[in-house]
Amino acid sequence: MTGRTGLLWDNPLMFSRLIEDCGACCEAVNPHMLASPFWRGKFVSLIVPTGFANPAYSNLLPALRAAQGRIRRFVEGGGRLLVFGAGCSREEAYDWLPFPVTYTFSYGPRAVNFNGESRYNSLFAGYDLAAVECDGSFPAHGGETLVASASGEALLIAKAVGEGMILVSSIHEYPSREFLKEFSCGERETLF
């Protein structure tokens, strides 16, 4: 079992400490590294935190677009990708993913409902499911809705791509430790 996670952001985040506390090695991947065709890394998973498309918080979106082919190959090869809310109203915020995702920015607590059993439902473990902080929803997408609000808004979507998995979530909380332990560790690392 190996655990190496790339946390994509402009500078180091406290989120990396949580990932490491869950048993994975966390490597910060800044936009310059991500967009460079010469930089390579091997990971079980990649995580794109909340606010990635909001220029007030991050310059990550142009790098994600520049690396979209590499991201797709990473997932197709067995990698796992977790993407959080864009953090602003930008219709094209997810255009770098290999399937369509439309995001509506709207911050606030939502009651969540699981659409059946999924190993990824553990993302919400330990949270008050009647009031989970979210920064929006996904009104249209090419994936499977795993978790929705009480009013039917998609809050967690999944899409298998090749041998890997992409999860897109609008939860505005850290994922649970239980989820991170499973998502960040696997039998092999995939070249990015």
Instruction: Give the type of residue at 6.
Output: G
Size of the chain, expressed as the number of residues it contains: 192
Structure confidence at residue 181 as a pLDDT band (50, 70, 90): very high
Q: Which residues of 58-85 are buried (b: 16+ CB within 10 A; e: fewer)?
A: bebbebbebbeebbbbbbebbbbbbbbb
**Do residues 26 and 7 lie in contact, with contact meaning Cβ atoms separated by under 8 Å?**
yes
1 vs 151, more confident: 151
**Hey, what domains does the chain have and what are their CATH numbers?**
4-191 (3.40.50.880)
- Beta strand extents in 52-111 (DSSP E only): 80-83, 101-110
Q: What is the pTM of this model?
A: 0.96
| Interval 134-143 mean pLDDT | 96
pLDDT at 151 (0 to 100): 94
Q: Among residues of the chain, what percentage have pLDDT more than 70?
A: 100
Higher per-residue confidence, 66 vs 2: 66
Residue 37 has pLDDT above 90, yes or no: no
